[in-house]
Amino acid sequence: MVWKNFPPDFYVRVDKELCINCMRCIKECSFGVHEYDRKKELWKRHHEKCVGCLRCAAMCPAKAINIEKSRMEYSPHPVWTNKVRKDIKMQAETGGVILTAMGNEVPYLSYFDHLVLDACQVTNPSIDPLREPMELRTFIGRKSERFDLEEDSGASLKTEIAPNLKLETPIMFAHMSYGSISIEAQLSMARAASKIGTFMGTGEGGMHKDLYQYADHIITQVASGRFAVHEEYLKRGAAIEIKIGQGAKPGIGGHLPGKKVTKEISETRMIPEGSDAISPAPHHDIYSIEDLSRLIYALKEATRYKKPVFVKIAAVHNVAPIAVGVIRAGADAVVLDGFRGGTGAAPQVHRDHHGIPLEVAIATVDRRLREEGIRHWGSIIASGGIRCSADVAKAIALGADAIYIGTGALVAMGCTVCKKCYTGKCPWGIATQIPELRKRLNPDEGAKRAANLLEAWSHELKEILGALGLNSIESLRGNRDRLRGVGLNEIDLEILGVKPAGW
Protein backbone atom coordinates (compact mmCIF):
# COMPACT_ATOMS: atom_id res chain seq x y z
CA MET A 1 0.00 0.00 0.00
CA VAL A 2 1.52 3.33 -1.02
CA TRP A 3 0.13 6.26 0.89
CA LYS A 4 2.56 8.85 -0.33
CA ASN A 5 0.55 11.83 -1.37
CA PHE A 6 -2.76 10.04 -1.46
CA PRO A 7 -5.19 11.56 -2.15
CA PRO A 8 -3.23 13.79 -4.56
CA ASP A 9 -3.07 17.55 -4.00
CA PHE A 10 -3.83 18.38 -7.62
CA TYR A 11 -5.82 17.04 -10.49
CA VAL A 12 -4.36 17.56 -13.94
CA ARG A 13 -7.22 18.16 -16.35
CA VAL A 14 -6.41 18.26 -20.04
CA ASP A 15 -9.04 19.30 -22.50
CA LYS A 16 -8.93 16.59 -25.18
CA GLU A 17 -10.57 18.81 -27.74
CA LEU A 18 -7.92 21.48 -27.38
CA CYS A 19 -4.91 19.18 -26.98
CA ILE A 20 -2.85 18.90 -30.18
CA ASN A 21 -0.69 16.01 -28.90
CA CYS A 22 2.46 18.09 -29.19
CA MET A 23 4.00 16.37 -26.13
CA ARG A 24 5.31 19.68 -24.84
CA CYS A 25 3.86 19.04 -21.38
CA ILE A 26 5.99 15.92 -21.01
CA LYS A 27 9.12 17.98 -21.55
CA GLU A 28 8.00 20.85 -19.37
CA CYS A 29 7.06 18.88 -16.27
CA SER A 30 10.16 18.13 -14.20
CA PHE A 31 8.17 15.89 -11.88
CA GLY A 32 7.13 13.33 -14.51
CA VAL A 33 3.38 13.87 -14.34
CA HIS A 34 2.53 13.61 -18.03
CA GLU A 35 3.16 10.35 -19.85
CA TYR A 36 2.18 9.15 -23.32
CA ASP A 37 2.00 5.50 -24.31
CA ARG A 38 2.86 5.54 -28.01
CA LYS A 39 1.76 1.98 -28.66
CA LYS A 40 -1.64 2.33 -27.14
CA GLU A 41 -1.83 6.00 -28.10
CA LEU A 42 -2.97 6.81 -24.61
CA TRP A 43 -2.20 9.66 -22.22
CA LYS A 44 -1.53 9.01 -18.59
CA ARG A 45 -1.38 11.76 -15.97
CA HIS A 46 0.29 10.94 -12.63
CA HIS A 47 -1.77 13.35 -10.57
CA GLU A 48 -0.10 12.34 -7.32
CA LYS A 49 3.24 13.71 -8.55
CA CYS A 50 1.91 17.14 -9.51
CA VAL A 51 3.16 19.99 -7.32
CA GLY A 52 0.95 22.67 -8.84
CA CYS A 53 3.79 24.72 -10.33
CA LEU A 54 1.68 25.50 -13.41
CA ARG A 55 4.66 25.24 -15.72
CA CYS A 56 2.94 22.88 -18.15
CA ALA A 57 -0.26 24.92 -18.18
CA ALA A 58 1.67 28.13 -18.86
CA MET A 59 3.73 26.59 -21.66
CA CYS A 60 1.02 24.51 -23.37
CA PRO A 61 0.65 26.05 -26.85
CA ALA A 62 -3.00 24.98 -27.07
CA LYS A 63 -3.80 26.24 -23.56
CA ALA A 64 -5.39 22.85 -22.98
CA ILE A 65 -4.15 22.20 -19.45
CA ASN A 66 -5.91 23.13 -16.26
CA ILE A 67 -4.37 22.25 -12.92
CA GLU A 68 -7.10 21.96 -10.31
CA LYS A 69 -6.96 21.47 -6.61
CA SER A 70 -7.97 17.86 -6.17
CA ARG A 71 -11.51 17.52 -4.89
CA MET A 72 -10.87 14.07 -3.54
CA GLU A 73 -10.31 14.37 0.18
CA TYR A 74 -10.65 12.26 3.27
CA SER A 75 -13.87 12.68 5.13
CA PRO A 76 -13.76 16.24 6.47
CA HIS A 77 -12.63 16.86 10.01
CA PRO A 78 -11.74 20.29 11.40
CA VAL A 79 -8.86 19.06 13.57
CA TRP A 80 -7.63 16.03 11.65
CA THR A 81 -7.20 17.97 8.45
CA ASN A 82 -6.25 16.24 5.24
CA LYS A 83 -2.73 17.61 5.53
CA VAL A 84 -2.30 16.21 9.03
CA ARG A 85 -3.53 12.81 7.95
CA LYS A 86 -1.35 12.77 4.84
CA ASP A 87 1.74 13.77 6.81
CA ILE A 88 1.18 11.00 9.34
CA LYS A 89 0.70 8.40 6.64
CA MET A 90 3.82 9.47 4.82
CA GLN A 91 5.91 9.39 7.98
CA ALA A 92 4.46 6.04 8.92
CA GLU A 93 5.67 4.81 5.59
CA THR A 94 9.15 6.36 5.50
CA GLY A 95 10.10 7.06 9.09
CA GLY A 96 11.65 10.32 7.88
CA VAL A 97 11.59 13.99 8.74
CA ILE A 98 9.22 15.89 6.44
CA LEU A 99 11.15 18.23 4.18
CA THR A 100 9.67 21.28 2.60
CA ALA A 101 10.64 24.69 1.21
CA MET A 102 9.64 28.36 1.07
CA GLY A 103 8.11 30.07 4.11
CA ASN A 104 5.91 29.18 7.05
CA GLU A 105 2.52 27.84 5.95
CA VAL A 106 0.62 28.10 9.20
CA PRO A 107 -1.78 31.06 8.97
CA TYR A 108 -0.53 32.90 12.07
CA LEU A 109 -1.69 36.48 12.41
CA SER A 110 0.08 38.82 9.98
CA TYR A 111 0.89 42.06 11.78
CA PHE A 112 1.66 43.74 8.47
CA ASP A 113 -1.95 43.13 7.49
CA HIS A 114 -3.14 44.73 10.73
CA LEU A 115 -1.11 47.92 10.38
CA VAL A 116 -2.08 50.89 8.25
CA LEU A 117 -0.10 53.91 7.14
CA ASP A 118 -1.06 57.52 7.77
CA ALA A 119 -1.61 60.14 5.05
CA CYS A 120 -1.64 63.94 4.99
CA GLN A 121 -4.91 65.86 4.79
CA VAL A 122 -5.50 69.62 4.86
CA THR A 123 -3.25 70.68 7.74
CA ASN A 124 -0.02 69.06 6.65
CA PRO A 125 0.43 69.01 2.90
CA SER A 126 1.49 65.88 1.12
CA ILE A 127 4.37 65.98 -1.36
CA ASP A 128 4.26 65.08 -5.04
CA PRO A 129 7.26 62.85 -5.71
CA LEU A 130 7.09 63.65 -9.41
CA ARG A 131 7.77 67.30 -8.64
CA GLU A 132 10.01 67.15 -5.64
CA PRO A 133 13.09 65.08 -4.90
CA MET A 134 12.51 62.06 -2.68
CA GLU A 135 15.41 60.48 -0.91
CA LEU A 136 15.49 56.70 -0.66
CA ARG A 137 19.26 56.51 -0.24
CA THR A 138 20.16 54.51 2.84
CA PHE A 139 23.48 53.86 4.55
CA ILE A 140 23.97 50.58 6.35
CA GLY A 141 26.62 50.36 9.05
CA ARG A 142 27.86 52.01 12.19
CA LYS A 143 27.30 55.77 12.44
CA SER A 144 29.58 58.10 14.34
CA GLU A 145 28.31 59.72 17.49
CA ARG A 146 30.00 63.01 16.71
CA PHE A 147 32.48 64.35 14.23
CA ASP A 148 35.72 65.93 15.33
CA LEU A 149 37.87 67.98 13.04
CA GLU A 150 41.65 67.95 13.04
CA GLU A 151 42.99 70.99 14.78
CA ASP A 152 44.40 73.72 12.54
CA SER A 153 43.58 71.81 9.41
CA GLY A 154 40.55 73.61 8.15
CA ALA A 155 38.01 70.93 7.47
CA SER A 156 39.68 67.56 7.61
CA LEU A 157 37.93 64.94 9.67
CA LYS A 158 39.58 63.44 12.72
CA THR A 159 36.80 60.97 13.51
CA GLU A 160 37.34 57.58 11.94
CA ILE A 161 34.26 56.73 9.90
CA ALA A 162 33.16 53.13 9.91
CA PRO A 163 32.60 51.55 6.49
CA ASN A 164 28.95 51.73 5.35
CA LEU A 165 27.07 50.29 2.39
CA LYS A 166 25.34 52.88 0.25
CA LEU A 167 21.93 51.72 -0.98
CA GLU A 168 19.98 53.73 -3.54
CA THR A 169 16.83 52.04 -2.30
CA PRO A 170 16.38 50.31 1.07
CA ILE A 171 15.70 46.93 -0.55
CA MET A 172 18.34 44.23 -1.03
CA PHE A 173 18.27 40.67 -2.36
CA ALA A 174 18.52 38.15 0.46
CA HIS A 175 21.19 35.48 0.78
CA MET A 176 20.30 32.49 -1.36
CA SER A 177 23.22 30.23 -2.00
CA TYR A 178 24.61 28.93 -5.23
CA GLY A 179 23.65 25.30 -4.83
CA SER A 180 20.20 26.06 -3.53
CA ILE A 181 19.56 28.26 -6.58
CA SER A 182 21.15 28.31 -10.02
CA ILE A 183 23.92 30.59 -11.16
CA GLU A 184 21.45 32.12 -13.61
CA ALA A 185 19.22 33.16 -10.71
CA GLN A 186 22.18 34.60 -8.79
CA LEU A 187 23.43 36.41 -11.88
CA SER A 188 19.99 37.92 -12.44
CA MET A 189 19.99 39.38 -8.94
CA ALA A 190 23.61 40.52 -9.13
CA ARG A 191 22.93 42.44 -12.32
CA ALA A 192 19.73 43.91 -10.97
CA ALA A 193 21.48 44.95 -7.75
CA SER A 194 24.28 46.72 -9.57
CA LYS A 195 21.89 48.39 -11.94
CA ILE A 196 19.69 49.74 -9.15
CA GLY A 197 22.51 50.49 -6.74
CA THR A 198 21.76 47.95 -4.08
CA PHE A 199 23.15 44.59 -2.94
CA MET A 200 22.59 40.87 -3.08
CA GLY A 201 23.78 38.17 -0.72
CA THR A 202 25.77 35.13 -1.80
CA GLY A 203 24.35 32.83 0.84
CA GLU A 204 26.74 30.29 2.26
CA GLY A 205 27.66 28.68 -1.05
CA GLY A 206 30.53 31.00 -1.96
CA MET A 207 30.85 33.38 -4.89
CA HIS A 208 30.81 31.82 -8.34
CA LYS A 209 33.42 33.36 -10.61
CA ASP A 210 30.75 34.68 -12.96
CA LEU A 211 29.67 36.98 -10.12
CA TYR A 212 33.09 38.55 -9.55
CA GLN A 213 32.36 41.46 -11.86
CA TYR A 214 29.43 42.43 -9.64
CA ALA A 215 31.34 41.91 -6.38
CA ASP A 216 30.93 45.58 -5.40
CA HIS A 217 27.24 44.85 -5.04
CA ILE A 218 27.56 41.52 -3.30
CA ILE A 219 27.53 40.69 0.40
CA THR A 220 29.42 37.51 1.20
CA GLN A 221 28.28 35.12 3.89
CA VAL A 222 30.12 33.22 6.59
CA ALA A 223 27.98 30.40 7.90
CA SER A 224 28.71 27.55 10.28
CA GLY A 225 29.92 25.24 7.50
CA ARG A 226 32.48 27.90 6.47
CA PHE A 227 32.11 26.82 2.85
CA ALA A 228 34.18 28.92 0.46
CA VAL A 229 35.34 31.13 3.31
CA HIS A 230 38.73 32.26 2.19
CA GLU A 231 40.61 35.53 2.60
CA GLU A 232 40.12 36.46 -1.07
CA TYR A 233 36.40 35.77 -0.85
CA LEU A 234 36.12 37.96 2.24
CA LYS A 235 38.09 40.76 0.64
CA ARG A 236 36.20 40.55 -2.64
CA GLY A 237 32.66 41.34 -1.47
CA ALA A 238 31.25 44.68 -0.33
CA ALA A 239 30.33 43.45 3.15
CA ILE A 240 30.38 40.23 5.14
CA GLU A 241 27.41 38.63 6.84
CA ILE A 242 27.79 36.07 9.60
CA LYS A 243 24.82 33.78 9.48
CA ILE A 244 23.84 32.62 12.93
CA GLY A 245 20.24 31.72 12.25
CA GLN A 246 17.56 31.69 9.61
CA GLY A 247 13.90 32.55 10.10
CA ALA A 248 12.71 29.51 8.19
CA LYS A 249 14.61 27.13 10.45
CA PRO A 250 15.77 28.82 13.64
CA GLY A 251 18.19 26.81 15.68
CA ILE A 252 19.04 24.20 13.12
CA GLY A 253 21.75 23.91 10.51
CA GLY A 254 21.64 23.02 6.86
CA HIS A 255 22.57 20.09 4.72
CA LEU A 256 23.25 20.03 0.99
CA PRO A 257 23.24 16.35 0.10
CA GLY A 258 26.31 15.02 -1.67
CA LYS A 259 24.41 14.21 -4.83
CA LYS A 260 23.77 17.93 -5.31
CA VAL A 261 27.43 18.86 -4.90
CA THR A 262 28.29 18.98 -8.59
CA LYS A 263 31.67 19.93 -10.01
CA GLU A 264 30.89 23.63 -10.24
CA ILE A 265 29.28 23.75 -6.83
CA SER A 266 32.21 21.90 -5.32
CA GLU A 267 34.56 24.47 -6.84
CA THR A 268 32.60 27.43 -5.54
CA ARG A 269 32.18 25.94 -2.06
CA MET A 270 35.73 24.55 -2.09
CA ILE A 271 34.73 21.06 -1.03
CA PRO A 272 35.10 17.70 -2.81
CA GLU A 273 32.54 16.77 -5.43
CA GLY A 274 29.77 14.53 -4.13
CA SER A 275 30.48 15.03 -0.44
CA ASP A 276 27.74 16.21 1.89
CA ALA A 277 27.89 19.92 2.66
CA ILE A 278 26.84 20.11 6.29
CA SER A 279 26.29 23.39 8.09
CA PRO A 280 26.00 22.52 11.76
CA ALA A 281 23.41 24.28 13.89
CA PRO A 282 25.85 26.47 15.81
CA HIS A 283 29.17 27.90 14.69
CA HIS A 284 31.73 25.76 16.48
CA ASP A 285 33.63 28.80 17.60
CA ILE A 286 30.58 30.71 18.86
CA TYR A 287 28.93 29.71 22.11
CA SER A 288 28.56 33.23 23.54
CA ILE A 289 28.36 36.90 22.63
CA GLU A 290 32.09 37.15 23.40
CA ASP A 291 32.77 34.37 20.92
CA LEU A 292 30.61 36.12 18.33
CA SER A 293 32.62 39.25 18.89
CA ARG A 294 35.77 37.26 18.25
CA LEU A 295 34.51 36.11 14.85
CA ILE A 296 33.32 39.62 13.96
CA TYR A 297 36.75 41.02 14.72
CA ALA A 298 38.54 38.11 13.09
CA LEU A 299 36.67 39.04 9.89
CA LYS A 300 37.36 42.75 10.35
CA GLU A 301 41.03 42.04 10.94
CA ALA A 302 41.19 39.80 7.88
CA THR A 303 39.74 42.60 5.76
CA ARG A 304 41.65 45.38 7.53
CA TYR A 305 38.45 47.02 8.82
CA LYS A 306 37.35 47.94 5.29
CA LYS A 307 34.14 45.90 5.17
CA PRO A 308 31.08 46.22 7.36
CA VAL A 309 30.25 42.95 9.13
CA PHE A 310 26.59 42.02 9.58
CA VAL A 311 25.16 39.31 11.78
CA LYS A 312 21.97 37.55 10.79
CA ILE A 313 19.81 36.00 13.47
CA ALA A 314 16.41 34.35 13.36
CA ALA A 315 13.71 36.30 15.18
CA VAL A 316 13.10 34.28 18.33
CA HIS A 317 11.64 34.90 21.78
CA ASN A 318 14.44 36.98 23.29
CA VAL A 319 15.38 38.69 20.07
CA ALA A 320 15.86 42.15 21.62
CA PRO A 321 18.61 41.29 24.11
CA ILE A 322 20.22 38.99 21.55
CA ALA A 323 20.28 41.74 18.93
CA VAL A 324 21.69 44.20 21.47
CA GLY A 325 24.42 41.67 22.22
CA VAL A 326 25.12 41.33 18.51
CA ILE A 327 25.50 45.09 18.09
CA ARG A 328 27.58 45.41 21.24
CA ALA A 329 29.75 42.57 19.96
CA GLY A 330 30.77 44.84 17.10
CA ALA A 331 28.36 44.04 14.27
CA ASP A 332 27.71 46.92 11.88
CA ALA A 333 24.18 45.67 11.29
CA VAL A 334 21.92 43.04 12.69
CA VAL A 335 19.75 41.15 10.23
CA LEU A 336 16.45 40.02 11.73
CA ASP A 337 14.93 37.10 9.87
CA GLY A 338 11.28 36.61 10.78
CA PHE A 339 9.47 33.30 10.99
CA ARG A 340 7.94 33.75 7.56
CA GLY A 341 11.35 33.74 5.91
CA GLY A 342 11.83 31.42 2.97
CA THR A 343 14.25 28.58 2.45
CA GLY A 344 15.29 26.12 -0.21
CA ALA A 345 14.95 23.22 2.19
CA ALA A 346 13.82 22.91 5.78
CA PRO A 347 12.14 20.35 7.95
CA GLN A 348 8.47 21.30 7.99
CA VAL A 349 8.28 21.15 11.77
CA HIS A 350 10.91 23.89 12.12
CA ARG A 351 9.65 26.02 9.29
CA ASP A 352 6.14 26.11 10.68
CA HIS A 353 6.62 26.18 14.44
CA HIS A 354 9.76 28.07 15.45
CA GLY A 355 10.47 31.76 15.71
CA ILE A 356 8.41 34.91 16.02
CA PRO A 357 6.90 37.40 13.57
CA LEU A 358 9.30 39.84 11.94
CA GLU A 359 7.17 42.90 12.76
CA VAL A 360 7.43 42.24 16.49
CA ALA A 361 11.16 41.59 16.22
CA ILE A 362 11.85 44.88 14.42
CA ALA A 363 9.82 46.87 16.91
CA THR A 364 11.37 45.35 20.03
CA VAL A 365 14.94 45.44 18.74
CA ASP A 366 14.66 49.05 17.56
CA ARG A 367 13.18 50.09 20.89
CA ARG A 368 15.79 48.26 22.96
CA LEU A 369 18.69 49.68 20.97
CA ARG A 370 17.26 53.17 21.45
CA GLU A 371 16.72 52.63 25.16
CA GLU A 372 20.33 51.61 25.52
CA GLY A 373 21.44 54.62 23.48
CA ILE A 374 23.21 52.51 20.87
CA ARG A 375 20.79 52.58 17.95
CA HIS A 376 23.43 54.33 15.83
CA TRP A 377 26.02 51.64 16.53
CA GLY A 378 24.46 49.37 13.95
CA SER A 379 21.69 49.18 11.37
CA ILE A 380 18.66 46.92 11.42
CA ILE A 381 18.00 44.90 8.28
CA ALA A 382 14.63 43.13 8.26
CA SER A 383 13.87 40.05 6.23
CA GLY A 384 11.40 37.24 6.04
CA GLY A 385 8.04 37.43 4.33
CA ILE A 386 8.12 40.95 2.88
CA ARG A 387 5.69 40.90 -0.04
CA CYS A 388 5.18 44.43 -1.29
CA SER A 389 6.26 48.05 -0.93
CA ALA A 390 3.70 48.58 1.85
CA ASP A 391 5.41 45.86 3.89
CA VAL A 392 8.72 47.64 3.25
CA ALA A 393 7.30 50.97 4.42
CA LYS A 394 5.75 49.37 7.51
CA ALA A 395 8.97 47.53 8.38
CA ILE A 396 10.90 50.80 8.13
CA ALA A 397 8.31 52.68 10.17
CA LEU A 398 8.65 50.01 12.85
CA GLY A 399 12.38 50.65 12.97
CA ALA A 400 14.23 48.85 10.16
CA ASP A 401 16.88 50.62 8.10
CA ALA A 402 16.57 48.35 5.10
CA ILE A 403 15.02 45.05 4.12
CA TYR A 404 15.97 41.91 2.25
CA ILE A 405 13.68 40.13 -0.18
CA GLY A 406 14.20 36.49 -1.11
CA THR A 407 10.99 34.81 -2.16
CA GLY A 408 9.71 38.06 -3.69
CA ALA A 409 12.77 38.23 -5.94
CA LEU A 410 12.34 34.61 -7.00
CA VAL A 411 8.68 35.17 -7.82
CA ALA A 412 9.75 38.12 -9.97
CA MET A 413 12.02 35.74 -11.88
CA GLY A 414 9.31 33.15 -12.45
CA CYS A 415 8.94 31.11 -9.24
CA THR A 416 5.36 30.12 -8.49
CA VAL A 417 6.05 29.06 -4.87
CA CYS A 418 5.44 25.38 -5.47
CA LYS A 419 7.60 24.62 -2.42
CA LYS A 420 9.69 21.96 -4.12
CA CYS A 421 13.04 23.77 -4.20
CA TYR A 422 14.67 21.00 -2.13
CA THR A 423 14.09 18.47 -4.90
CA GLY A 424 16.45 20.41 -7.15
CA LYS A 425 13.91 20.09 -9.98
CA CYS A 426 12.62 23.66 -10.02
CA PRO A 427 10.36 23.84 -13.07
CA TRP A 428 11.21 27.54 -13.53
CA GLY A 429 14.97 27.04 -13.64
CA ILE A 430 15.65 28.76 -10.33
CA ALA A 431 16.21 26.21 -7.56
CA THR A 432 17.97 23.68 -9.74
CA GLN A 433 21.35 22.72 -11.14
CA ILE A 434 20.02 20.58 -13.99
CA PRO A 435 21.27 22.16 -17.23
CA GLU A 436 18.02 21.68 -19.18
CA LEU A 437 16.01 23.28 -16.40
CA ARG A 438 18.51 26.08 -15.83
CA LYS A 439 18.04 27.13 -19.44
CA ARG A 440 14.51 28.16 -18.54
CA LEU A 441 15.82 31.23 -16.75
CA ASN A 442 17.59 33.65 -19.02
CA PRO A 443 19.73 35.90 -16.80
CA ASP A 444 19.08 38.93 -19.01
CA GLU A 445 15.37 38.45 -18.60
CA GLY A 446 15.76 37.58 -14.91
CA ALA A 447 17.87 40.67 -14.26
CA LYS A 448 15.35 42.87 -16.01
CA ARG A 449 12.44 41.49 -14.03
CA ALA A 450 14.25 41.64 -10.69
CA ALA A 451 15.31 45.22 -11.41
CA ASN A 452 11.79 46.14 -12.50
CA LEU A 453 10.45 44.89 -9.20
CA LEU A 454 12.90 47.03 -7.23
CA GLU A 455 12.10 50.03 -9.41
CA ALA A 456 8.37 49.54 -8.97
CA TRP A 457 8.63 49.17 -5.20
CA SER A 458 10.98 52.14 -4.96
CA HIS A 459 8.57 54.23 -6.93
CA GLU A 460 5.74 53.16 -4.66
CA LEU A 461 7.86 53.93 -1.61
CA LYS A 462 8.33 57.48 -2.91
CA GLU A 463 4.60 57.79 -3.39
CA ILE A 464 4.02 56.50 0.13
CA LEU A 465 6.50 59.03 1.52
CA GLY A 466 4.79 61.76 -0.48
CA ALA A 467 1.42 60.84 0.95
CA LEU A 468 2.96 60.94 4.42
CA GLY A 469 4.37 64.39 3.72
CA LEU A 470 7.92 63.14 4.09
CA ASN A 471 10.73 63.63 1.61
CA SER A 472 13.21 61.06 2.80
CA ILE A 473 13.06 57.48 3.92
CA GLU A 474 15.11 58.48 6.94
CA SER A 475 12.18 60.43 8.31
CA LEU A 476 10.06 57.29 8.21
CA ARG A 477 12.55 55.09 10.04
CA GLY A 478 11.20 54.17 13.46
CA ASN A 479 8.42 56.71 12.96
CA ARG A 480 5.71 54.53 14.47
CA ASP A 481 3.46 57.50 14.92
CA ARG A 482 2.66 57.17 11.22
CA LEU A 483 1.31 53.66 11.78
CA ARG A 484 -1.95 52.60 13.37
CA GLY A 485 -3.12 49.15 14.35
CA VAL A 486 -6.42 47.72 13.15
CA GLY A 487 -7.87 44.79 15.06
CA LEU A 488 -4.85 44.30 17.34
CA ASN A 489 -5.13 43.89 21.07
CA GLU A 490 -3.62 46.22 23.65
CA ILE A 491 -0.55 44.13 24.33
CA ASP A 492 0.23 43.67 20.65
CA LEU A 493 -0.05 47.41 20.17
CA GLU A 494 2.18 48.10 23.13
CA ILE A 495 4.84 45.70 21.88
CA LEU A 496 4.73 47.22 18.40
CA GLY A 497 4.71 50.71 19.90
CA VAL A 498 1.77 51.62 17.71
CA LYS A 499 -1.52 53.34 18.56
CA PRO A 500 -4.85 51.82 17.57
CA ALA A 501 -6.69 53.33 14.61
CA GLY A 502 -8.86 56.19 15.90
CA TRP A 503 -6.28 57.53 18.34
Measured from the CB of residue 479, what is the shortest distance to another protein in angstroms? 37
Measured from the CB of residue 462, what is the shortest distance to ligand SF4 in angstroms? 30
- Is 74 a binding residue for another protein by CB under 8 A? The answer is no
Q: Which stretch binds ligand SF4 (CB under 6 A): 147-155, 325-333, 420-428, 442-450?
A: 420-428
Residue 450 is classified by DSSP as H
SS in 3 state form for 138-182?
Answer: EEECCCCCCCCECCCCCCCECCCCCCCEEECCCEEECCCCECCEC
**Beta bridge mates, 383:** 337, 404
Q: Which stretch binds another protein (CB under 8 A): 20-28, 58-66, 227-235, 485-493?
A: 227-235
Measured from the CB of residue 217, what is the shortest distance to ligand SF4 in angstroms? 22
- Is 465 a binding residue for ligand SF4 by CB under 6 A? The answer is no
Q: Which partner in ligand SF4, another protein, none is near 55 (CB below 5 to 8 A by kind)? A: ligand SF4
Q: Kindly list the strands in the beta sheet with 483-485, ordered across the sheet, starting from the edge strand earlier in the chain.
A: 115-117, 483-485, 499-500
From the list 222, 145, 179, the residue with the least C-alpha distance to 422 is: 179
Q: Which partner in ligand SF4, another protein, none is near 52 (CB below 5 to 8 A by kind)? A: ligand SF4
C-beta closer to ligand SF4: residue 35 or 73: 35
179 close to 260: Cβ distance less than 8 angstroms = yes
- Is 415 a binding residue for ligand SF4 by CB under 6 A? The answer is yes
C-beta closer to ligand SF4: residue 101 or 362: 101
What's the rounded Cα separation, in Å, for the pair 16 and 207? 48
What's the rounded Cα separation, in Å, for the pair 501 and 407? 31
Q: Which partner in another protein, ligand SF4, none is near 98 (CB below 5 to 8 A by kind)? A: another protein
For another protein, which residue of 93, 436, 444, 481 counts as binding (CB under 8 A)? 93
447 close to 195: Cβ distance less than 8 angstroms = yes
Interstrand relation of 483-485 and 115-117 (parallel, antiparallel or unpaired):
antiparallel
- Is 284 a binding residue for another protein by CB under 8 A? The answer is yes
- Is 53 a binding residue for ligand SF4 by CB under 6 A? The answer is yes
- Is 438 a binding residue for ligand SF4 by CB under 6 A? The answer is no
**How far from 124 is each of 56, 127, 382, 468, CA to CA, in Å?**
52, 10, 30, 9
C-beta closer to ligand SF4: residue 24 or 226: 24
In this structure, how many other beta carbons lie within 10 angstroms of the beta carbon of residue 109?
A: 12
What residues make contact with ligand SF4 under the rule CB under 6 A? Answer: 12, 28-29, 31, 33, 50-56, 67, 101-102, 410, 415-421, 426-428, 430-431
